[in-house]
Structure 1
């Protein structure tokens, strides 16, 4: 038929053969923008971000109520959730506390839902095959979807951090930041360290994002993919909490998640931070390759 040919060569109106469609570059900004729009226009995504934004508010109000009569909260040790003991002195510590509180479950659960639904949700809705009719290619489509999930990791982390910063500024004083090593730094440097911590937390979720993407290529059910990804997250965290299995702990993607606290030391302790980034990169390489191998050879029938 004149003027047709979605994947191959067709003819133009004067009867001359049309040029065959050639594969485009591996990266397509238009395809990436489309995936971002699909990801962030979903009501489920907006609800997840709203819930994440509400957690710092709840923590801040709880600390404010508990310390309203001059009482103390937390032990002030400085590791993980113990940041909560510093909130009343400096509202910026609510950022660190909120990230430490949401990282074990809420943030990764949100990422698991988005990553698990990325391919399986399209397949279940019947839209995946229409995406593949266009000359985008499966590799480019999968790369765009994974990049969109990584952007969600950063957006979710920044949502928690910005919400915590706003609540901390409203409910508590702001000022110089005393680091875990006892060094006092200006508030502006504290803000920069908070931004670095947010980026480090987002990077910590990259391995889970790759795992969720792989799971999403295995099924046509978005619900099943999301449940499986979150279930694997819980199972791995349980294994990481069992002392008798300490020999496998360094290879589990959540093991170094709390290493972001080392960015609040002077000098910064880089060992655990680099171990975490290296481990996340390994998970991205392994499960990203597995997702590509599965998706490239998958028979899309729905």
Structure 2
């Protein structure tokens, strides 16, 4: 607790101290700070180490690793046949390791994965404002565009780490419990194990790209509020609302413009006849939404009055 009654994050104070020590405040003949280089401020390595030390990051990554084991326990407690070759994705989850990975991505795709991305991006600027450390970062001085860029890159790397960690751990757990069999689709198509690994890689890349709109919206909300919970919650609520609207068939073709409409287009990869048009539409939708929202966030942060 600081003397003024404002809560500060110890990691944030450590970062500010490190940045201040890097930039020795010495005035030159022209009054400028001697040796100052904007490119040396708020280095990515410093920001990543700081984020990795935070308890929320450790809990998120820990839960991502734990989720496949929870699913295995659920199947062990319940009744499932490892030789099943028909049914839905849940019924086929124990058929092979690739099927188990598909289930893990399927059950996490509607809520958990968007929440993870929203948490990393929505908390990035708003948390600095809530700790009253953002104005000190800018006073070092760190250019505004660099603050936003470095924090967005760090958030993106952490999000990708979590999104990649889930299928990797699920594959390892699936190999131990269910073996390296073919990937079986609900339509009965069987994909060899070698090709199924490529499918998992492509599906993971698609999910990362598709969640770009969540990252952009979370970043926009993060620069617009001093409440991290509001930024994260707003992005998660937007994702839930979009999913609800996507279920209303009365909207017809309007649903195609919802950011979550193509969330599960990657499931088409688990078939002999892949609909690449749907996958391409999902990539385009995510890139457009993500780019527009990120540009709006940059514009908002560049013109915002920083008071905390």
Q: Work out whether the TM-score is over 0.5.
A: yes
Which consecutive unaligned segments of at least 5 residues does structure 1 have? Answer: none
1:11 correspondence with 2:11:
no
TM-fit CA distance, 1:108 = 0.6
Output the TM-score relative to the length of structure 2. 0.82
Which residue of 177, 182, 189 maps to 1:182? 189
In 2, Cα distance between equivalents of 1:197 and 1:44: 26
Residues 84-163 of structure 1 aligned to structure 2 (within 5 Å): 84-163=90-169
Which deviations, in whole Å up to 9, do the C-alpha atoms of 1:115-139 show, x marking residues without a partner? 1111100111112122222454211
The structural deviation recorded for 1:157 is 1.4
- Whether the aligned pair in 2 keeps the contact of 1:66 and 1:72 (CA below 8 Å) is no
Q: CA deviation at 1:285?
A: 1.6
Q: Distance in 2 between matches of 1:290 and 1:23?
A: 27
The alignment of Structure 1 onto Structure 2 pairs a total of residues equal to: 286
Q: TM-score, normalised by structure 1?
A: 0.83
Contact 2:163/2:208 (CA < 8 Å) preserved in 1? yes
Structure 2 segments unaligned to the other structure (5+ residues): 1-19
**2:304 aligns to what SS in structure 1?**
coil
Please give the residue correspondences for 1:166-245 in structure 2 after superposition, counting only pairs within 5 Å.
Answer: 166-178=172-184, 182-185=189-192, 187-245=193-251
For 1:25-83, what per-residue CA distance to the aligned partner results, in whole angstroms no more than 9, with x for missing partners? 6xx79622233223332111221222232222222222233346x5987x934xxxx32
For the Cα contact (< 8 Å) 1:23–1:136, is it kept in 2? no
Q: Pairwise CA RMSD of aligned residues?
A: 3.0
1:203 Cα shift? 1.5
Query: Which moves more between the two structures, 241-250 or 203-212?
Result: 241-250
1:289 aligned onto 2:295 = yes
Q: Distance in 1 between matches of 2:159 and 2:252?
A: 28
The 1-side partners of 2:43 and 2:50 are apart by 11
Contact 2:42 2:150 in 1 (8 A): no
Instruction: State the distance in 2 between where 1:188 and 1:71 align.
Output: 19
